[in-house]
Homo-oligomer: A and B are copies of this chain.
């Protein structure tokens, strides 16, 4: 099995953290590091693995390629149901899906777009729009206070238990450093949650 990824990018980290929570033995997986700045991920070779050109991509032993961090996560959730990170039963599964998507659509994506459009980091391969970068940066900043309020009354993002929504949110908070957003002193609930989740061994995977 091979994992095509990049050490600094947030999506591969989401997959690694999920896999680590599931007890995956990384020594049994060949890690193939791609240099995204050099365009390794948009090479013909990589587009054969994933036509969308993203990382991570998991190559199974039979040669099947799985891309999208959440598809890889769902693969492991089904293979190793314990501990459940996507919920058990209809209502819990739906609640976690809801919160994970809120974290993706309203937090992870604005942070990612703010990075790409304010820095022009991938201007060799995509149209860059600084004005859009500023708009998404504001949206990302708002989420820090939204989350602080939410976590005043919730232990974890989706409620009482650690879930995939916490993985998405943690990887977003850490990645947001590239656009100079950090938890501030007026966000103690977000800080409490961040320290708790960051202390899990999987956070370093």
Contacts and interface: CB of A to CB of B under 8 A. Distances in A.
**Copies of this polypeptide in the complex:** 2
Interface string A48-78: 0001100000001000101110111011101
A129 interface: yes
A43 interface: no
Given A51-B146, A127-B135, A135-B129, A78 B98 contact: no
Contacts of A135: 127, 129, 132
A33 interface: no
Contacts of A93: 74-75, 78
Given A131-B129, A131-B132, A71 B52 contact: no
Contact of A66 (B76, B98, B106, B131): B98
A90 interface: yes
Contacts of A89: 78
Interface of A: 51-52, 60, 64, 66-68, 70-72, 74-76, 78-79, 89-91, 93-95, 97-98, 101-102, 105-106, 127, 129, 131-132, 135, 138, 146
A100 B95 CA distance: 19
Contacts of A60: 91
10 contacts: A51-B146, A52-B106, A67-B98, A70-B97, A71-B94, A75-B90, A75-B93, A76-B90, A79-B90, A129-B129
